[in-house]
Amino acid sequence: MHDICFFYRASLGGPDERHEQKFATLVGDHFGMSPTNILLTLSDEEIQLIAEAVGYRDSSRTFTLRELIHFFLLAAMHQWKSFRHGADVGPLYGLPRFHYSTVSKKAKEVPYDIMKRLLALIISKCNRQTRRSLRFPKPLRVVDSTTVTVGKNRLPWAPYHGERAGVKLHVAYSPESSLPADVVETIGLRHDGPVGEQLTNPQQVLVEDRAYFKIERLDRFVEQHQLFVIRMKDNIELHQKKSLKRLSSTSSSVQADFTCQLGTKQCRSTKRHRVVIFRDANGRDIRVVTNLFHASAETIADMYQQRWTVEVFFRWMKQYLNVPTLFGTTENAVYNQLFAAFIAYVLLRWLYDQTKKQTNVSLSFISFVRRFFSGQLPLDWKSGMAAALFEYAQIYGRRMYNFG
């Protein structure tokens, strides 16, 4: 069960496997660290400051706020089925013994804004170290949402459709770092468009689907210098088209590139916008509107097609981090669990990306996660993980949580 952090092999005089294994054993015996303890990168002081900022005082001695965070991280990573399930197996993963009603009450009591702020803090730390270039003019900010539904009687405060209740998670996702940049929670019936206003960032290029398209919004983005690539609704009228000069290429998927005003006479854009029409892999023509005039039409098409990254992210979260299985029925319980699942993803992704830089052995992200939690990572990856964690400790001027 224990998967130990191993400090850099140079401390034993080079890349000798016998030395690495010996040092790994020594470090493991000394620290006795489980995988989730490696991921608990927040200090008690950071957690306390955030709790105080939202007006929460943790007075419990039997099941603390940190233990609730630990519980929900474990629940996501090991796909527990309920509070009762977690109470049964929790002690095997380093949690204290407790009755399931204790954690249920705690999850209901703790304001979910604490978990949301912890997520923002962890994202800010991990983003400083995890970023790769996609060769676009500016970093992309892909905005989309996903809905988690249950029976309507489970969440009476979050009606959805028919016999279902649900909550929606609106996410700004960074393809460069493979991490969410921001998350906004709403009930399932809330429309995407208005919430998208909370996820803009003038330092990045917004990439959005048709749900976020609104003519007035595009004009406003131009005035606010917010760059965007947004898919147009199919019924939007194009007024006074003017083609842009471009090099012809038989291999290009681009079908047209022009500027125009958008909409009918009754509701028409005040600005001229650039429209790029390209053919996707399924042979469909996709129309996107943008205010990027110094990028090629092919680059604009490539930017929009980065939308698939957030869709893959949502599928991964639901398949591997237990997102569809909601334990509680209150807002705090539901959102505490969901934001903890986001924290688990961010930490796992950061650990994978940072460790991958230190090793020559190739592993996919999901293979890394499975081996990490089964204690079967290759020795080279264990050493690489140690180097990544040591670097983290140096950057933030302290040891990782539970490092002796």
Cα torsion through 198, 124, 67, 325, rounded to 10:
50
Q: CA angle, corner 173, sides to 167 and 175, nearest 5?
A: 150
User: What distance in Å separates the CA atoms of residue 228 and residue 230, rounded to the nearest whole number?
Assistant: 6
Dump pLDDT digits (tens) for 48-66.
999 999 999 998 888 999 9
Dump pLDDT digits (tens) for 226-262.
999 999 999 999 999 999 987 667 778 999 999 999 9
**Please, are residues 187 and 167 in contact by the beta-carbon 8 Å criterion?**
yes
HEC assignment per residue over 288-323: EEECCCCCCHHHHHHHHHCHHHHHHHHHHHHHHCCC
- Which tokens sit at 179? 């991490």
The pLDDT > 90 percentage for the chain reads 71
- How many residues can be counted in the chain? 404
pLDDT at 400 over 70: no
User: What distance in Å separates the CA atoms of residue 136 and residue 27, rounded to the nearest whole number?
Assistant: 43
User: What distance in Å separates the CA atoms of residue 204 and residue 227, rounded to the nearest whole number?
Assistant: 7
HEC assignment per residue over 15-71: CCHHHHHHHHHHHHHHHCCCHHHHHCCCCHHHHHHHHHHCCCCCCCCCCCHHHHHHH
- More confident: 192 or 386: 192
pLDDT, position 2: 35
Q: Does the global pTM surpass 0.85?
A: yes
pLDDT, position 36: 57
Q: Quick one: CA dihedral 176, 179, 184, 190, positive or negative?
A: positive
User: What distance in Å separates the CA atoms of residue 274 and residue 195, rounded to the nearest whole number?
Assistant: 25
Dump pLDDT digits (tens) for 255-266.
999 999 999 999
pLDDT, position 133: 65
pLDDT, position 132: 64
Question: Between β-strands 205-208 and 285-290, what pairing exists: parallel, antiparallel or unpaired?
Answer: unpaired
pLDDT, position 403: 30
Please list the alpha-helical segments (H only) found in 168-291: 192-196, 215-224
pLDDT, position 397: 56
State which H helix or E strand residue 142 sits in.
strand 140-151
Chain mean pLDDT for the chain: 87
pLDDT, position 9: 38
- Which tokens sit at 303? 């930017």
User: What distance in Å separates the CA atoms of residue 120 and residue 333, rounded to the nearest whole number?
Assistant: 19
Dump pLDDT digits (tens) for 42-52.
788 889 999 99
pLDDT at 141 over 60: yes
If pLDDT is split at 50, 70 and 90, which confidence band does 39 have?
Answer: low
**Please, are residues 53 and 117 in contact by the beta-carbon 8 Å criterion?**
yes
What is the mean pLDDT of the segment spanning 198-225?
96
pLDDT at 14 over 60: no
Dump pLDDT digits (tens) for 96-138.
999 999 999 999 999 999 999 999 999 988 876 666 667 888 9
If pLDDT is split at 50, 70 and 90, which confidence band does 404 have?
Answer: very low
**Please, are residues 24 and 397 in contact by the beta-carbon 8 Å criterion?**
no
What is the mean pLDDT of the segment spanning 218-230?
97
User: What distance in Å separates the CA atoms of residue 15 and residue 98, rounded to the nearest whole number?
Assistant: 44
